[in-house]
A and B are shown apart, each in its own frame.
Chain A
Amino acid sequence: MLQEAAQPAAEVATMLQKIGAGAFGAVVGWYVYYINRWRKDDVQLSDIVTLIGAIGGAAVLALFPERTDLFGAYGIGLATGFFLYFFILVILVNKAPGFSSAWFLDGRAPKLTDTEVTTVGHGMERRDRIES
């Protein structure tokens, strides 16, 4: 509250701006989990530091100045998007036939049947390109 009072009038954000900052953070948070989920190698500490730099770096600070409500709304949205992805993933993995929560450990999945093929993560590519 004291911080709000200390902010210049021009930096007091409207509700719409806060919602926008939160929504932007939610998209970034969703994408952070997405990138983490599809990484090829084991996680390294340098990856985490790089990721933290990206989500709290100069570009974000240019949009949402530090010590403002916009920055706070961005942080809330970031966590919301990140954990929303995770919770939806938990639900989908537990509901998918043949899958269990072991998928989160090492990607364990059921064997393909005779009529199924794997697209190795290219689910939206054309079938003829995958088979060639």
Chain B
Amino acid sequence: MLVSLGAIGFGLVFGWLLGLYDFPPEKRPAAMAALISATVASGGVMAWLVGVAAAAPFPIATLVALWVHTQWRTELRKRHPKSNDS
């Protein structure tokens, strides 16, 4: 149980850090491939560290944190547009 909670903790931090990765629209395919690769690789490492069953919450926590972070930043950009933004 504690190991699974730890995997959730790792996933939340990892997902939040992934949310910091800002990329221009023209680089979206390459960036998405890099993000997915990083997530799959880290998920594999986590499964190796704590076992497949205990690591199952890791990708879910990663996606939740990534989604929350992205939504938060999107909302901030809506509320506080730059003065030179069109």
Contacts and interface: CB of A to CB of B under 8 A. Distances in A.
B48 to A, nearest CB: 8
- Interface size class of chain B, counting residues whose CB lies under 8 Å from the partner chain: 35 or more
Given A101-B76, A105-B73, A55 B18 contact: no
Interface of A: 1, 3, 18, 25, 29, 32, 36, 42-45, 48-49, 51-52, 55-56, 61, 66-69, 71-80, 82-83, 86, 100-102, 104-106, 108
Contacts of A108: 80
Contact of B77 (A29, A55, A105): A105
The main secondary structure of chain A at its interface with chain B is helix
A42 B23 CA distance: 10
Contacts of A102: 76, 79-80
A68 B3 contact: yes
- List of 10 A-B pairs having minimum Cβ-Cβ separation, nearest first: A75-B6, A72-B6, A79-B9, A102-B80, A72-B2, A75-B9, A72-B3, A66-B49, A69-B2, A43-B20
A52 B73 CA distance: 22
A79 B21 contact: no
B1 A48 contact: no
